[in-house]
Amino acid sequence: VQLVESGGDLVQTGGSLRLSCTASGLTFDGYGIGWFRQAPGKEREGVSCMGSSTDSTYYTESVSGRFTISRDNAKNTVYLQMTRLKPEDTAVYYCAASPPWIATVFSGDGCKEYEYDWWGQGTPVTVSS
Protein backbone atom coordinates (compact mmCIF):
# COMPACT_ATOMS: atom_id res chain seq x y z
CA VAL A 1 0.00 0.00 0.00
CA GLN A 2 1.27 3.44 -0.90
CA LEU A 3 -0.33 6.81 -0.29
CA VAL A 4 1.08 9.79 -2.15
CA GLU A 5 0.21 13.38 -1.33
CA SER A 6 0.57 16.29 -3.71
CA GLY A 7 -0.44 19.91 -3.97
CA GLY A 8 1.68 21.43 -1.24
CA ASP A 9 3.20 24.77 -2.14
CA LEU A 10 4.24 28.20 -0.99
CA VAL A 11 1.24 30.51 -0.81
CA GLN A 12 0.49 33.92 0.61
CA THR A 13 -1.78 34.54 3.55
CA GLY A 14 -5.38 34.38 2.45
CA GLY A 15 -4.61 32.07 -0.43
CA SER A 16 -5.94 28.61 -1.21
CA LEU A 17 -4.51 25.20 -1.95
CA ARG A 18 -5.97 21.81 -2.67
CA LEU A 19 -4.05 18.82 -1.43
CA SER A 20 -4.59 15.47 -3.08
CA CYS A 21 -3.80 11.98 -1.92
CA THR A 22 -3.85 8.98 -4.21
CA ALA A 23 -3.54 5.38 -3.18
CA SER A 24 -2.11 2.27 -4.74
CA GLY A 25 -2.80 -1.13 -3.27
CA LEU A 26 -5.78 0.26 -1.36
CA THR A 27 -9.22 1.43 -2.40
CA PHE A 28 -10.37 4.44 -0.41
CA ASP A 29 -14.03 3.47 -0.76
CA GLY A 30 -15.08 2.15 2.62
CA TYR A 31 -11.91 3.28 4.38
CA GLY A 32 -11.59 6.17 6.73
CA ILE A 33 -9.39 9.01 5.61
CA GLY A 34 -7.54 11.63 7.56
CA TRP A 35 -5.36 14.62 7.01
CA PHE A 36 -2.75 15.38 9.63
CA ARG A 37 -0.08 18.03 9.79
CA GLN A 38 3.16 18.63 11.60
CA ALA A 39 4.57 22.12 11.97
CA PRO A 40 8.26 22.68 12.73
CA GLY A 41 8.96 21.92 16.36
CA LYS A 42 5.43 20.71 17.05
CA GLU A 43 3.70 17.40 17.37
CA ARG A 44 1.63 16.03 14.54
CA GLU A 45 -2.06 16.92 14.84
CA GLY A 46 -5.22 15.73 13.17
CA VAL A 47 -6.59 18.40 10.85
CA SER A 48 -9.60 16.70 9.34
CA CYS A 49 -10.88 13.20 8.98
CA MET A 50 -13.78 11.30 7.54
CA GLY A 51 -15.33 7.92 8.22
CA SER A 52 -16.54 5.53 5.56
CA SER A 53 -19.60 7.75 5.15
CA THR A 54 -19.11 11.28 3.89
CA ASP A 55 -21.72 12.33 6.43
CA SER A 56 -19.26 11.88 9.26
CA THR A 57 -16.43 14.37 9.26
CA TYR A 58 -14.26 16.15 11.77
CA TYR A 59 -12.31 19.38 11.59
CA THR A 60 -9.98 20.67 14.21
CA GLU A 61 -11.19 24.00 15.49
CA SER A 62 -8.43 26.06 13.92
CA VAL A 63 -9.42 25.02 10.38
CA SER A 64 -13.17 24.66 10.73
CA GLY A 65 -14.91 26.76 8.10
CA ARG A 66 -11.74 27.09 6.02
CA PHE A 67 -10.81 23.52 5.11
CA THR A 68 -12.91 20.85 3.42
CA ILE A 69 -12.16 17.15 3.26
CA SER A 70 -13.59 15.11 0.43
CA ARG A 71 -13.11 11.93 -1.49
CA ASP A 72 -13.59 10.84 -5.09
CA ASN A 73 -13.93 7.11 -5.03
CA ALA A 74 -13.92 6.85 -8.83
CA LYS A 75 -10.46 8.41 -8.88
CA ASN A 76 -9.39 6.71 -5.64
CA THR A 77 -8.28 10.11 -4.42
CA VAL A 78 -8.96 12.15 -1.32
CA TYR A 79 -8.64 15.90 -1.06
CA LEU A 80 -8.16 18.65 1.43
CA GLN A 81 -9.33 21.99 0.11
CA MET A 82 -7.72 24.75 2.12
CA THR A 83 -8.89 28.35 1.92
CA ARG A 84 -8.06 31.58 3.74
CA LEU A 85 -4.71 30.14 4.65
CA LYS A 86 -2.79 31.58 7.57
CA PRO A 87 0.90 31.43 8.48
CA GLU A 88 0.02 29.06 11.31
CA ASP A 89 -1.16 26.55 8.71
CA THR A 90 2.45 26.10 7.64
CA ALA A 91 3.31 22.43 8.10
CA VAL A 92 3.92 19.16 6.37
CA TYR A 93 0.56 17.62 5.60
CA TYR A 94 0.01 13.88 5.64
CA CYS A 95 -2.89 11.80 4.44
CA ALA A 96 -3.74 8.55 6.16
CA ALA A 97 -6.22 5.73 5.83
CA SER A 98 -7.98 3.70 8.50
CA PRO A 99 -9.44 0.25 7.90
CA PRO A 100 -13.17 -0.24 7.24
CA TRP A 101 -13.95 -1.78 10.63
CA ILE A 102 -12.84 1.46 12.22
CA ALA A 103 -14.15 3.77 9.51
CA THR A 104 -17.72 2.49 9.77
CA VAL A 105 -17.96 3.46 13.44
CA PHE A 106 -16.21 6.79 13.11
CA SER A 107 -18.05 9.21 15.35
CA GLY A 108 -16.52 12.46 14.18
CA ASP A 109 -15.01 13.23 17.56
CA GLY A 110 -11.45 13.64 16.36
CA CYS A 111 -8.65 12.12 14.31
CA LYS A 112 -6.85 9.48 16.32
CA GLU A 113 -3.49 8.61 14.86
CA TYR A 114 -3.54 5.06 16.20
CA GLU A 115 -6.61 4.29 14.07
CA TYR A 116 -4.73 4.96 10.84
CA ASP A 117 -2.64 2.14 9.47
CA TRP A 118 -1.41 3.64 6.19
CA TRP A 119 0.36 6.96 5.80
CA GLY A 120 1.77 9.06 3.02
CA GLN A 121 5.16 10.75 3.06
CA GLY A 122 3.74 14.23 3.38
CA THR A 123 3.58 17.37 1.30
CA PRO A 124 4.84 20.72 2.60
CA VAL A 125 2.62 23.77 2.83
CA THR A 126 4.16 27.14 3.55
CA VAL A 127 2.03 30.20 4.09
CA SER A 128 3.90 33.47 3.95
CA SER A 129 2.75 36.49 5.88
Q: What is the pLDDT of residue 65?
A: 97
Q: pLDDT of the chain along its 129 residues, tens only?
A: 999 999 999 999 999 999 999 999 999 999 999 999 999 999 999 999 999 877 789 999 999 999 999 999 999 999 999 999 999 999 999 999 999 988 888 888 899 999 999 999 999 999 999
- Name residue 85's beta-bridge partners: none
Sign of CA dihedral 66, 16, 111, 103: positive
Q: What is the pLDDT of residue 52?
A: 83
Q: What is the pLDDT of residue 56?
A: 86
